[in-house]
Amino acid sequence: MPLNKRGKTNARVCGLFVQVGLYGMGIAYTITSAISLRAIQKSNCYHNEGHNAECYFGDAQYMLAFGVVQLILSQINNFHNIQWLSVVAAFMSFAYSIVGLGLGIAKVVGNGYIKGSIRGISTSTTGEKVWLVSQALGDIAFAYPYSLILIEIQDTLKSPPSEKDTMKTASIISISATTFFYLCCGALGYAAFGDKTPGNLLTGFGFYEPYWLIDFANMCIVLHLVGGYQVYSQPLFANVEKWVSVKFPDSGIIHKDFKLKLPLLPAFKLNVLRLCFRTIFVASTTIIAMLFPYFNQVLGVLGGIYFWPLSIYFPVQMYFKQRNVEAWSLKWVMLQSFSLVCLPLTLFALVGSIEGLITARLK
């Protein structure tokens, strides 16, 4: 295969994984927001009725409510008009991470000892332990999804300094910060609860009090996800709508904007393509989330799908091309070995997460 043709094929495959990943983030964020909203309701129930009360609530109505909010926000023409939403989302993520970290420390101190063991949680069979390990790997893979929007973010930067230098600094800071919070929350959560560690510390009710702080943290999660959904969806919207516009350059329905004036609100531009496609997008992510409302399993599946191609394989291949790394040189062998080791681990995570998703659905 000629080099330029192979490059185009790689670009298309990479682009496909990116779009699938962006779509999957919409599903994951819908599930997570509903779980957090339900957790607020349960937290208040436990506070009022006691920790042993039967506080069971569904999450379908919360998914629908989240979908309605996203339906409205998605009609905004482009992401630059909702830049404030991204800033709010960033502050909210720091807020609930700090709360989760603080509650974990307080629980360990309150227990007076560290629960759990180096072997991990106890299971009835070895097979069950293997599947749980694979799901955990999938969740870890999902925890670093910024590769999906790395290029889109870099494309919006202004120079000087150069976009490359800015993104390098931002990547180092962001990865270091997220890794710190992930490791601390994961380790402290297991140290606090041992085998009873919930999949989500703030919604699994390892913590009951102070209930207002748990409510605050979960509301921060919801606000973060409201903005995060748009952060990941807007690039997909732009790509699809640009492709359709190029495909049908003379279509008045696709290119014409209509002004909509609502009481007490400024005039709003509405486009038929934007209205139809974005409505279908939001509706489909909401429906899939309602069919598979399983937090850890869905996150594991998504991480297993896009982590290796987008975070390992394609970046390594692009590095080889950009730096003209010679085949079979020490650097080439080390990076290729790294990529080959990560592939079976990612497949293991994907298979285990799918198994967990099917098992949860059948139950």
Q: Label residue 140 by pLDDT band (50, 70, 90).
A: confident
Q: Label residue 305 by pLDDT band (50, 70, 90).
A: very high
pLDDT of residue 4: 59
Q: Domain span at residue 203? A: 3-362
pLDDT of residue 3: 47
**Number of domains present in the structure of the chain:** 1
pLDDT of residue 24: 94
Report the DSSP beta bridge partners of residue 90.
Answer: none
Inter-residue contact 200 to 295 (CB < 8 Å): yes
Tens of pLDDT, residue by residue over 330-346, are 999 999 999 999 999 99
**What's the rounded mean pLDDT across residues 235-240?**
90
Inter-residue contact 205 to 174 (CB < 8 Å): no
Q: Of 311, 49, 42, 65, give the one whose Cα is nearest residue 198.
A: 42
Distance CA 262, CA 268 (A): 8
pLDDT of residue 155: 65
Tens of pLDDT, residue by residue over 32-81, are 999 999 999 998 898 888 888 888 888 899 999 999 999 988 987 766 66
Helix 330-362 vs helix 295-307: crossing angle, to nearest 10: 150
Tens of pLDDT, residue by residue over 14-29, are 889 999 999 999 999 9
Residue 183: is its pLDDT beyond 60? yes
pLDDT of residue 41: 92
Question: How many Cβ atoms are within 10 Å of 266's Cβ, its own excluded?
Answer: 6
The CATH number covering residue 80 comes to 1.20.1740
Amino acid code (one letter) for 293: P
Provide the mean pLDDT of the chain.
86
Tens of pLDDT, residue by residue over 71-110, are 988 987 766 666 677 788 788 888 998 998 998 899 899 9
Name which of 99-113, 193-207, 273-287 the model is least confident about: 193-207
Query: CA of 145: how far to CAs of 51, 60, 71, 141, 336, in Å?
Result: 36, 26, 23, 8, 22
Regarding predicted confidence, which is higher, 239 or 252? 239
**What's the rounded mean pLDDT across residues 244-258?**
82
Tens of pLDDT, residue by residue over 308-326, are 999 899 989 989 988 999 9
Residue 354: is its pLDDT beyond 90? yes
**What's the rounded mean pLDDT across residues 140-161?**
72
- What is the full DSSP assignment across 230-288? HHHHHHHHHHHHHHHHHHSTT-HHHH-EEEE--TTS--EEEEHHHHHHHHHHHHHHHHH
Q: Label residue 220 by pLDDT band (50, 70, 90).
A: very high
